[in-house]
Amino acid sequence: MNTLYRALPSIDKILNSEQGGLLVARFGHAAVVAQLRSQLRQARQHIQQQQQLPRYFSDFSVLYKKVAHDLQLQQQVAIKKVHNLTGTVLHTNLGRALWSRSAQQAALGAMQENVALEFDLTQSKRSHRDQHIGELLAQLCGAEAACIVNNNAAAVLLMLATFANGKEVIISRGELIEIGGAFRIPDIMQQANCRLVEVGTTNRTRLSDYQRQINENTALLMKVHCSNYQICGFTESTAEAELAQLARQHQLPLISDLGSGALIDLTQYGLPGEPTPQKMLADGVDLVSFSGDKLLGGPQAGIIVGKKAYIERLQQHPLKRALRCDKVILAGLEATLRDYLFPEKLTEVNPTLQLLTRDLDTLRQTAEQLLLKLQEKLGADYCLQLEASSAQIGSGSQPMSRIPSLALTLCPYSDKNSDLMQLIHSLKQLSRPIIGRIENNKLWLDLRGVANPERLLTTLDEL
């Protein structure tokens, strides 16, 4: 044992070797020393347990490769790129919308250079960081002004904190939603120090229900678009135009949490329809909030559009500074919005709309290539079939609405669940993990959300 311990080299000896010098030049002295100390600790434990040297200390060339490999792994970010074959295009757990090329380039430019973020180049004085996007959103949505924060939950919090602190907010009982991550409208109201006043019932809320609850302590009326669930059957809700008229009669603001944020009529592409901020504002809603990384197809952001007087109050609230976006997000968001100035080209440049509108023939070409590749790798052990599938736009964006898709399904001939789990594990261990879904005791690889088919096929070469 003592002989084995003495056979372990000192850190100085390793560092003074030619290969050690190359490691230091590549990774730096401190990182290499820390890694060598870790390797030596592991080697001593190995000697104690196995009564022999680890292989990488018996062969120094292996040791240098191992140290380089481990240090290289430390440089890699933990958030890994994955292939989305779940059948949910805007998957919250997989990062939602992909950025367009123009958004990526704008964000990269903001990262690499100083930008006029809060500087008016014309008048050579300080300006507001939301100014450029505000003007753009005014053009796209018919709004007087806009305010940008880091997500839609923050947008709702800011509106409530600004206009309803210590007062009452009237909302339909059927709109007290909860979305992913336990975001609940009542909890946000509590954090904003306002009191929730529920009106109507779960399935029916009339204009008169709001009217009866308005009093001197009412701060505002609120509408929430239920984008992540549906109430069917015997239902009734109050239209925004009616509610806006009631709000004006009592000199109260009407705000709307639109959630998923479609800026265009999706039905023109054969997709399920979504209310737009343009329609809400035209119906008299004073402030409308929505997400940047859902149907809009851009970076994560909370966008508030509406009356200039109300937007100015939002901008002056202390929470705005805590919730604001940085230059990179604002650059990416502006570039995404500018693509909407050219509506005929949207499905070519906006990745979200591109994925949602791809025809089934295009999906079939990729599916057949995927089938051939997996038959080569797994054909003897798994039953592989091409099957019609129904994809979701997003778990928080129209989860009840389905769009036609195509999937490759895999089922082990052994009918053992453990074999299916092993396959799923293997797909997750690839350099770019492949994420599917389990349904009817099969693994479904849905092609609707695949952003890069060529890279998917290349990744499968590792399987």
Domain extent, residue 312, equals 101-349
Q: Are residues 309 and 406 in the same domain?
A: no
Q: Are residues 385 and 250 in the same domain?
A: no
The closest alpha carbon to 294, from 325, 322, 262, 264, belongs to 262
CB 333 within 8 A of CB 104: no
Q: Are residues 3 and 65 in the same domain?
A: yes
What is the rounded distance in angstroms from the CA atom of residue 338 to the CA atom of residue 409? Answer: 39
Total domain count, the chain = 3
**Per-residue pLDDT reduced to its tens digit, 399-455:** 567 899 999 999 999 878 889 999 999 999 999 999 999 999 999 999 999 999 999
Q: Are residues 345 and 367 in the same domain?
A: no
Say which CATH number the domain at 383 has.
3.90.1150.110
Q: Are residues 369 and 345 in the same domain?
A: no
Q: Are residues 420 and 298 in the same domain?
A: no
Mean per-residue pLDDT, 164-192: 80
Q: Are residues 34 and 151 in the same domain?
A: no
CB 36 within 8 A of CB 57: no
pTM confidence score: 0.89
Which residues touch 331 (CB under 8 Å, ≥6 apart)?
103, 106, 107, 109, 110, 115
Q: Are residues 177 and 303 in the same domain?
A: yes
Inform me whether the pLDDT recorded for 396 exceeds 60. no
Would you state the pLDDT for residue 180? 57
Say which CATH number the domain at 184 has.
3.40.640.10
Q: Are residues 109 and 1 in the same domain?
A: no
**Per-residue pLDDT reduced to its tens digit, 334-384:** 999 999 999 999 999 999 999 999 999 999 999 999 999 999 999 789 999
**Per-residue pLDDT reduced to its tens digit, 287-322:** 999 999 999 999 999 999 999 999 999 999 999 999
Would you state the pLDDT for residue 58? 76
What is the rounded distance in angstroms from the CA atom of residue 280 to the CA atom of residue 277? Answer: 5
Q: Are residues 297 and 367 in the same domain?
A: no
Inform me whether the pLDDT recorded for 395 exceeds 70. no
What is the separation, in whole angstroms, between the first and last Cα of the chain? 41
Q: Are residues 268 and 157 in the same domain?
A: yes
Share of the chain above pLDDT 90, in %: 73
Q: Are residues 280 and 183 in the same domain?
A: yes
Tokens encoding 30: 């401190």
The DSSP secondary structure of 212-272, one letter per residue, reads HH--TTEEEEEEE--TT----SS-B---HHHHHHHHHHTT--EEEEEES---S-GGGGTPP
The DSSP secondary structure of 110-164, one letter per residue, reads HHHS---SSEETTTTEE--TTHHHHHHHHHHH--SEEEEESSHHHHHHHHHHHH-
